[in-house]
Amino acid sequence: MTKDQIFEFFRRLAEDNPEPETELEYGNCYQLVVAVALSAQATDVGVNKATRALFAKVETPEQMLELGLDGLIDHIKTIGLFNSKAKNVIAMSQLLVDEYGSEVPDTRDDLVRLPGVGRKTANVVLNCWFKQETFAVDTHILRVGNRTGLAKGKTPEQVEAKLEKRVPQPFRLHAHHWLILHGRYVCKARTPECWRCGLADLCSFRQKVLEVPKGR
């Protein structure tokens, strides 16, 4: 994509959805970190179902530690990899209490110190809560970046680096949300719904599905 095409790409996304937000449900920054950590290899819908009752009881790291490992597992056992995720959340909560005054830090270096928090999770927290211009590359963004020609790369890190260079203002703050939502609902993995995509003319994907499949 050219610079002009990239600008138009995001302009259309912004026009369609001016204030995109994560679909994860949370009430404060600590709950956001927990929700994003739990969402690895799981759907936002599944995480939300598990965390509604959890977050009604737990708003702080101290309350999570009071709930304990077994209590946390009871709440999140419908989520994939719940045992290891529960251990990470308890360890994360302990570290926040011990070293950060129970406050979630606002730098990537500090965030990735937390158990269960990798670069992608840190980027989501920095973007959603601290309003920093970060690009949290998940499977949707990896696919959309490569398929459209916006940001090609074999790894999330490569795609993130391309997005850092190519996404212009005033679209940088919301770019990763637009791309996630586009990948989740339009530019789907198995059958991209190009026939209803408002970006198809800008996209470099050669196998566009421009006819509505039968039964749709």
Q: Residues annotated in the binding site for [4Fe-4S] cluster, as ranges?
A: 187, 194, 197, 203
The one catalytic residue in 16, 120, 188, 208 is 120
- Alpha helices (runs of H) in the chain, residue ranges in sequence order: 3-16, 29-38, 44-57, 61-76, 82-99, 108-111, 119-128, 139-148, 156-166, 175-185
**Residue 138 bears catalytic tag:** yes
d(Cα 85, Cα 73) in Å, to the nearest integer?
Answer: 9
Residue 6, number of CB atoms within 10 A of its CB: 19
Q: Which amino acid is at 24?
A: L
**Residue 87 bears catalytic tag:** no
The one catalytic residue in 3, 4, 57, 138 is 138
Residue 209 DSSP label: -
Q: Which residue has the tokens 């949370």?
A: 26
Question: Catalytic site residues?
Answer: 120, 138
